[in-house]
A and B are shown apart, each in its own frame.
Chain A
Amino acid sequence: MVRWPLALPPLDSTSWQSPLRAFAWGVRSVASTVLTLVLFATYLGIGALAHDSHFSLGWVLTSTALVWAGPAQIILISTLGSGATVVQAAIAVTVSAIRLFPMVVSVLPMMRTPQTKRRHLVLATHFIAVTLWVECFRLFPHVPRERRIAFTHGLGSGLCAVCLVATTLGYGLAANLPPLLGAAILLLTPLAFLLSTARNCRQLSDVLALVLGLALFPLVSLLQTGVDILISGISAGTIAYGVHRWRERR
């Protein structure tokens, strides 16, 4: 993947002495990754999806800031938009969000110092989603430990601002563009998610889960249960895990 050169100052530079400057370096790091572009495309798609599913602009902007997880927002919008109840949507989103737990667990130890209190980490924890998680692993070695929380606040706010702009643009474009270009923006969502998920596959179980999940949904949706996504997701994921276990044992 293309990486723009990293422009962070050396670890012993005086510009790390102030938390505010560390925050500013976090914001600037938004421009150092191609993932920002992927995120922009994803949120253009989310804005357009929200428009075509008849949600208001303020609602989808609030969801970008509060939910701050692209897949969850798409599940929320597409399940509610296709007539699922609030409980069905909440269950689907809850299950999809479990993957945030291991991300938080693996990244927080890198931000902690002996003086860090839990409450200092609440906002940084809120910002954790797949993009920030990947970038933390890449950038933290270049950030002094005691400035990593401030840096994460900057990086998170910067990415969130980019996504709010993209959401607004996507919403506005879907409302005003000819249908063909509107369709092109809506296609960004499945494309960007398929490819970024494929990129994040670390082991056989992940690849199988992706392939089986794609294949099972069209079949399960014929049953029209209202929780099709959950049924196909849990069965495909469990089968993928079963194959992984079976191969480990042999």
Chain B
Amino acid sequence: MSDFIGDWHALLVLVVAGFLPNEVWRMLGLWFGGGVDEGSELLVWVRAVATAILAGVIAQILVLPPGSLASIPDWLRYGAVAAGFAVFMLTRRSIFAGVVGGEAVMLGGKWWLG
């Protein structure tokens, strides 16, 4: 058990910093959801901030890459994501095509570098 999950401290961190912060918003939606208009100005701001936080996380993974992603040169990581985005736009917003395109550029680039 302790090898599988880690110690109880790690599990507690998961509940406090991962589970509760998400579940709180879901349950608030369940309890008080009746009165909120989906198009309200507050929710427009909330969506913008949530989107920008997610964008920050994407940038963090690319700029300060974890683990084996760090073995790929900076320019190739950025180039691969830019290529993926270009393929996504060219294929009328196909996520699948964009992901495959980005991955192909990264693998091809790394292979070409040797």
Contact = CB atoms under 8 A, between A and B. Distances in A.
Partners in one complex: yes
Interface of A: 1-2, 34, 37-38, 41, 48-49, 51-53, 55-59, 62-63, 66-69, 71-76, 78, 80-82, 86, 89-90, 92-106, 108-109, 118, 121-122, 125-126, 128, 174, 179-180, 182-184, 186-199, 201, 203, 205-206, 208-218, 220-221, 228-230, 232-238, 240-241, 244-245
Contacts of A218: 59, 63
A92 to B, nearest CB: 7
Nearest to B38: A106
B4 interface: yes
Contacts of B90: none
Interface centre among A191, A193, A208, A244 (most CB of B within 10 A): A191
Chain B contact residues, majority secondary structure: helix
A213 B55 contact: yes
Contacts of B67: 48-49, 51-53, 174, 182-183, 186
Interface string B44-74: 1111111111111111111111111101100
A103 B103 CA distance: 31
Contacts of A197: 51, 54-55, 58
A57 B59 contact: no
Contact of B56 (A51, A100, A229): A229
Contacts of B27: 122, 125
B52 A187 contact: no
Given A58-B4, A218-B59, A205 B54 contact: no
Given A51-B67, A191-B84, A62 B11 contact: yes
A220 B63 CA distance: 12
Nearest to A102: B43
Interface centre among B22, B49, B53, B95 (most CB of A within 10 A): B53
Interface string B5-24: 11000110111111111111
Given A66-B19, A90-B16, A209-B55, A98 B25 contact: yes
Nearest to A124: B30
B57 A71 contact: yes
Contacts of A82: 60, 64
Contacts of A48: 67
Nearest to A97: B22
Contact of B44 (A55, A213, A233, A244): A244
Contact of A229 (B53, B69, B80, B99): B53
Contact of B68 (A90, A179, A216): A179
A16 B39 CA distance: 33
A184 B65 CA distance: 12
Closest 8 A/B residue pairs (Cβ):
A52-B67, A213-B55, A104-B29, A237-B49, A233-B53, A213-B52, A58-B4, A58-B5
B36 A105 contact: yes
A199 B62 contact: no
A187 B103 contact: yes
